[in-house]
Amino acid sequence: MTRVSKLHLKRLLKELKSKRGWGTELISLYIPAGRNLHEVTRYLRFEYSQAANIKDKNTRKNVQAAIKSILQHLKLYRSTPENGLAIFCGAVSYGNVRGEEKIELIAIEPPEPITSFIYRCSSEFYLEPLEAQLEEKEVYAVIVMDRGGAAIAVIKGASYKIVDELNSDVPSKHRAGGQSQRRFERGREEAVKRYYVRLGEHANKMLLPIKELKHIIIAGPGDAKEEFANGDYLNYMLKQKVIGLVDTAYTGETGVREAIYKSRSLLSDARIYKEREAVQEVFERLSKDSRLVAYGIVPVEKALLVRAADRLVVLESLADEVLARCNSCGFFFKPDRSPRCPQCGGSDIAEAKGEEFLEKIEEEAAQTKATLVIVTDKTEWGEQLQKLGGIAAILRYAIE
C-alpha cells in the first residue's frame, strides 16, 4: 500500500460514491495517524459483538462479515500509515437479489493526514473527510475600486470569479452651477464615505464566510483604495488579511484581471500563476527550439519512456476523455480509425479511461523526477494547452 495522489483519490471517491448497501451495512472507518492499531482492533471486535443485536438477518450477517474483513485487512499493517488510513467495507448491492451481494473493501492511505477517528455504518459510504482533502485550500480575494464603483473577486485554485459589483453615487468632481463650492465638497465627501461603508458591508458579507481566505489585495486607480484600506470599513479579520495595495489602470473585470496579474509577487504560491507560467513556458520553448518540447499524448509518453521529460503540463479535463490503450506496450492514445498502436504497431487495443492515463503520467513523472502541473480547464492557459492536445513536456534533451 502506498499513499494515493489527489488525482487517484478523486477517482476512488467517485467510485465509492456510487456504491450502496441494502441496509445500513456499509462501514466507513477513519483511523488517524499515530493511532494504536490494537486499540482499533479492540474497538472493531466490540462493534462485531454489538452487531449481533441487529434484527435483520441479512444486515447482521453483512455487517459482521464487513468487520471481519476489516480486521483481516488491518493485519497487513504493523502500524498506522503516516497519514492514517481510511477503510470502506461492506456488502455492496448491485440491484440483484438480496443475499447475493459481496463484501468489498477499499483501503486508502490519503494524501493528507486524517485527523479524527470515525466509525460509521450506513447505506452509503461516508466520504466527507476525504472529499475535504481535495478542496482548494488557498483562496484569495481582490477588491478593485475607485470612487465610482467596485468589484469583488475571489481567486480559488486557478480561476477567479467576480462575486459582487457595486456602483457609488458619488458625484463627479465638477459641481453644478449655483451650488457653493464648500457645500458641494462636503456633500461629495459624505457620499464617498457612505460608499466606502457600503463597500465594506458588501465585502464583509461576501468574504467573511470564506474560511479558507488567505489574503486580500485592494487595487484600483487613484487613491481611493488607500482611503478604503486605512479607514474602518472592512471587518478587522479581513483587514488583517490585506497584504497589498496595487495600482491598476482599470476597474471592473479588466481591473480584476490586471490586479491579479500585478499581484504575482504578493501571492507567490497561488496556483493561478503556477499553471499560467507552466503553459507559457511550453510556448516560449516551442518558439525557441521546438525539438525540446513534446506535445500530444503519444509523444509525451515516448519522452517519459526515455526519461527525457523534465516538466510536464497536463490539462485536467483529459481525465474525462475516452482513450485507447495498447495491451502490448501500455501506451495510451486518442482512438481513431487506425486499429493499430502508434507506438508498437500492436493490434490488441482496449478502451481506456482518461483518468487511468493521467495516473500513468503522474506515476512515471514521479519515477523520472519530472515535475507535473495539472492545468485547470476553462481558463485562458487551459485553452492554450488544449491546442497542444492537452498535454506537453519540456524535454531535458532532444529526442527523435
Where do contacts with Zn ion occur on this chain (CB under 5 A)?
A: 326, 328-329, 331, 341, 343-344, 346
As measured in angstroms, the least distance from the Cβ of 293 to Zn ion is 23
Q: Phi/psi at 183 (nearest 5 deg)?
A: -65, -40
As measured in angstroms, the least distance from the Cβ of 341 to Zn ion is 3
As measured in angstroms, the least distance from the Cβ of 355 to Zn ion is 20
* Shorter beta-carbon distance to Zn ion: residue 347 or 371: 347
* Shorter beta-carbon distance to Zn ion: residue 22 or 331: 331
* Size (the chain), residues: 400
* Shorter beta-carbon distance to Zn ion: residue 5 or 343: 343
351: left (phi over 0), alpha (psi -120 to 50) or beta: beta
Write down the H helix ranges in the chain: 6-17, 37-51, 57-74, 128-134, 181-207, 224-230, 236-239, 252-262, 271-288, 297-305, 354-367, 380-386
Question: How far is residue 356's CA from residue 363's CA, in Å, rounded to a whole number?
Answer: 11
* Shorter beta-carbon distance to Zn ion: residue 228 or 331: 331
* Shorter beta-carbon distance to Zn ion: residue 311 or 325: 325
As measured in angstroms, the least distance from the Cβ of 352 to Zn ion is 12
* Shorter beta-carbon distance to Zn ion: residue 108 or 297: 297
As measured in angstroms, the least distance from the Cβ of 162 to Zn ion is 47
As measured in angstroms, the least distance from the Cβ of 340 to Zn ion is 8
The answer to whether 284 and 293 have CB atoms below 8 angstroms apart is no
* Shorter beta-carbon distance to Zn ion: residue 215 or 302: 302
As measured in angstroms, the least distance from the Cβ of 326 to Zn ion is 3
- Closest by alpha carbon to 77, among 86, 66, 67, 65? 86
Q: Phi/psi at 229 (nearest 5 deg)?
A: -65, -35
Question: How far is residue 259's CA from residue 245's CA, in Å, rounded to a whole number?
Answer: 9
The answer to whether 105 and 76 have CB atoms below 8 angstroms apart is no
- 46 CB-contact burial (10 Å; exposed 0-12 / middle 13-18 / buried 19+): exposed
